[in-house]
Amino acid sequence: MSRTARRPRLTAATADPHWLYENAVQNPEAEVEFIDRAFAAAYGRLPRDLREDFCGTLNLGCCWIRRRPDNTALGVDLDGPTLDWGREHNVLPLGAAAARATLVQDDVRRVSGPPADVLAATNFSWWCFHGRAELKGYLENCRRSLRDEGMLMLDIFGGSEAQVLQFEERDCEGYTYVWDQDAFNPITHEYVCRIHFRFPDGSELTDAFVYRWRLWSIPEVRDLLLEAGFSRVDVYWEGADEDGEPSGDFQLDDAGDNSPAWVAYITAFR
Ligand SMILES: C[S@@+](CC[C@H](N)C(=O)[O-])C[C@H]1O[C@@H](n2cnc3c(N)ncnc32)[C@H](O)[C@@H]1O
């Protein structure tokens, strides 16, 4: 019997939005590999202490802890119930290693210690900062929070399709993930995106997650990182497989390609 067959049928009334989100959106194993590779390329050794800003359920941080026996993770997020969910479903199952995880409920701009080797802000969460001064203030705090040999990792997406109002549906095991690019203001780049989940019985979890972002570009954030004092900023661009689909393989690049929809990692070194 397959795992899907044993699991009760998902419906909007029974499904757990955090589980649905983690399962559909996150790939922490690939991200911790990327962090090791980018950090080692800069400093010739592996990092140990990770801070995950906008950590949500600390899925990345817990994967980091599982990766090596001395790794630690500090997660910072404003939302208490989300942190509680992460504590129960991700941190406690680590067993004794849970002692290497710390969750802090606060604004990411107000936390600057303990010092980290790597600070990661993923799934475009840093787009919650709309103004230039606001984002620069956040990036300055990231730099302050890092050791002398320290790396900030941000992800970013773009391309012409990012500005198109559209739904993108993807089948997951037992449900459908719906990415809804709902509103875009070409003057301010204010950008509203929503996540919905649909179920085989026809029910839907509408607006399970809603993001009110600014759509930032790579040159804008690169300039701000350098103004915030980072000494070097690199861009890792995702390659394509034989069918032209995103390969999940990110390599250092300074030209990219003019894909209508791209995802990239930005690394900045203290
Ligand atoms: C897009 S989710 C990202 C969750 C997770 N990082 C991931 O990769 O899926 C954004 C998270 O940022 C948190 N958040 C938003 N503004 C924040 C702030 N100023 N300080 C700390 N957390 C914040 C929200 O509570 C939410 O959990």
pLDDT tens string 24-60: 999 999 999 999 999 999 999 999 999 999 999 999 9
Indicate whether residue 125 lines ligand 1 (CB < 6 A). Answer: yes
Q: What CA–CA distance (Å, rounded) separates 78 from 36?
A: 27
Quick: pLDDT tens for 177-192: 999 999 999 999 999 9
Q: Region 255-267: what's the mean pLDDT?
A: 94
Q: Sketch the domain layout of the chain as residue ranges.
A: 18-159+216-269
| CA 54–ligand 1 middle distance (angstroms) | 3
Indicate whether residue 111 lines ligand 1 (CB < 6 A). Answer: no
Instruction: Please report which confidence band the pLDDT of residue 262 belongs to, taking 50, 70 and 90 as the band edges.
Output: very high
The percentage of residues in the chain with a pLDDT greater than 90, rounded to a whole number, is 93
Indicate whether residue 135 lines ligand 1 (CB < 6 A). Answer: no
The distance from CA 198 to its chain's CA centroid, rounded to whole angstroms, is: 23
Mean pLDDT taken over the chain? 96
80 contacts: CB under 8 Å, gap ≥ 6: 105
Q: Is the predicted pLDDT of residue 3 greater than 90, yes or no?
A: no
| CA 46–ligand 1 middle distance (angstroms) | 26
Q: Is the predicted pLDDT of residue 2 greater than 60, yes or no?
A: no
Q: Region 135-158: what's the mean pLDDT?
A: 98
Atom 6, ligand 1: residue with shortest CA distance: 55
Indicate whether residue 104 lines ligand 1 (CB < 6 A). Answer: no
Indicate whether residue 76 lines ligand 1 (CB < 6 A). Answer: yes
| CA 31–ligand 1 middle distance (angstroms) | 17
Nearest-atom index, ligand 1, CA of 121: 6
Indicate whether residue 195 lines ligand 1 (CB < 6 A). Answer: no
Q: Is the predicted pLDDT of residue 252 greater than 60, yes or no?
A: yes
Cβ atoms 230, 208 nearer than 8 A: no
Q: What CA–CA distance (Å, rounded) separates 97 from 84?
A: 18
**What pLDDT was estimated at residue 12?**
96
CATH superfamily of 18-159+216-269: Vaccinia Virus protein VP39 (3.40.50.150)
Using DSSP's 3-state secondary structure scheme, residue 13 falls into coil
Residue 114, preceding peptide bond in cis (omega within 30° of 0):
yes
Residue type, 184: F
Instruction: Please report which confidence band the pLDDT of residue 246 belongs to, taking 50, 70 and 90 as the band edges.
Output: confident
Task: Find, among 43, 59, 217, 219, the residue nearest to 118 by Cα.
Answer: 43
Q: Is the predicted pLDDT of residue 122 greater than 90, yes or no?
A: yes
Model confidence, pTM: 0.95
